[in-house]
Amino acid sequence: MRAVIQRSGPAEVTSDGESLARIDGGLVILLGIEERDTHEDVDWLVGKITKMRIFGDDEGKMNDSLLDQATPQALVISQFTLHANTRKGNRPSFIRAARPEQSEPLYLAFCEAMSEVIGNAVGRGRFGADMQVSLVNDGPVTITIDSRARE
């Protein structure tokens, strides 16, 4: 499982002109699911993301996590293109990305686990849909995590 995490101010995901979810600030998480991913990857990644100290404390130093926020908010968007292989030619291959029948249940499990841990509903995109994501990247802080590397 790969995630691109962006600390954000206001963020919103829309599809076909319909607002699907909006947060005032927190984390925007682009989530790519690989065919080898399991619920173990979900648990590890949710734990890593929610405890990552990337928010400013009272002195403005990145010492606080999402869990330290007064109202933790997250917006999670499924994005199979995070598993693009660009080694050959100019057309990316997405062969390592999980098929929808595997990736959608893991995406939903990730969102549910994230909601449980932060104690707040997680905003979601529409799985498999063409979406538009808008956000104010705060910092900017953008971090990539791969559950295979466990770093």
Whole-angstrom distance, CA of residue 102 vs CA of residue 90: 27
Token pair 């963020």 in the structure block, residue:
11
Catalytic: 69?
no
Query: Is the pLDDT assigned to residue 151 strictly greater than 80?
Result: no
Residue 113 C-alpha from the chain's centroid: 12
- Active-site annotation holder among 6, 55, 80, 110: 80
- At 8-46, the pLDDT tens digits run 999 999 999 999 999 999 999 999 999 999 999 999 999
Q: With cut-offs at 50, 70 and 90, classify the pLDDT of residue 49.
A: very high
Catalytic: 50?
no
Catalytic: 127?
no
Query: Model pTM?
Result: 0.94
- Active-site annotation holder among 38, 71, 81, 132: 81
In the chain, the amino acid numbered 34 is E
Nearest Cα residue to 82 out of 54, 103, 102: 103
- Structural domain boundaries of the chain? 2-146
In the chain, the amino acid numbered 66 is L
Nearest Cα residue to 46 out of 72, 25, 22, 23: 72
Under CATH, domain 2-146 is a member of which superfamily?
D-tyrosyl-tRNA(Tyr) deacylase (3.50.80.10)
